[in-house]
Every structure is written in structure tokens, then in C-alpha cells.
Amino acid sequence: MAKDNIAVEAATFSKEQLLRSAKYAKRRDLLSVLLEDNKAYTFDEVDACIEKYMKGQVK
């Protein structure tokens, strides 16, 4: 019996949806600056943006 390869797309969300989500309630100010308008993001992409910013060096 052959297995079918099924690609599962990750859910994407707009900047506004992410800013209103409970998951990122404590990071709303940061996300409002980091995320671009009219672009969709996955949770993994948002988490990566936050992590990259938090690991950045102070100038």
C-alpha cells in the first residue's frame, strides 16, 4: 500500500490578527514595529522575528 505525500500548509495570519491574538499579547508593541502591513505570517515566522530581534546587539 503506497502512502500519499500530503503537504500541509501552515496557517498564516495578518499583522492585525497577530496583534489581536492572546498568544502575542505581551509582545504587541514589538510586533507592531517588526511586522509589515499587508503581509501574512506563520507563528514560526513571527517567533523567529522576535527571537532575532531579542538576540540583536545594542548599538
Q: How far apart are CA 8 and CA 5, in angstroms?
A: 10
The pLDDT assigned to 51 comes to 95
The total number of residues shown for the chain amounts to: 59
Q: How far apart are CA 43 and CA 25, in angstroms?
A: 14
Rounded to 10 degrees, what is the CA torsion of 53, 32, 14, 18? 80
**What secondary structure letter does DSSP report for 41?**
B
- Give phi and psi for 38, each to the nearest 5: 60, 30
Grid cell locating 44: 514560526
The pLDDT assigned to 56 comes to 86
The pLDDT assigned to 24 comes to 96
The pLDDT assigned to 2 comes to 59
The pLDDT assigned to 1 comes to 53
- In tens digits, the chain (59 residues) has pLDDT values of 556 666 667 899 999 999 999 999 999 999 999 999 999 999 999 999 999 999 987 77
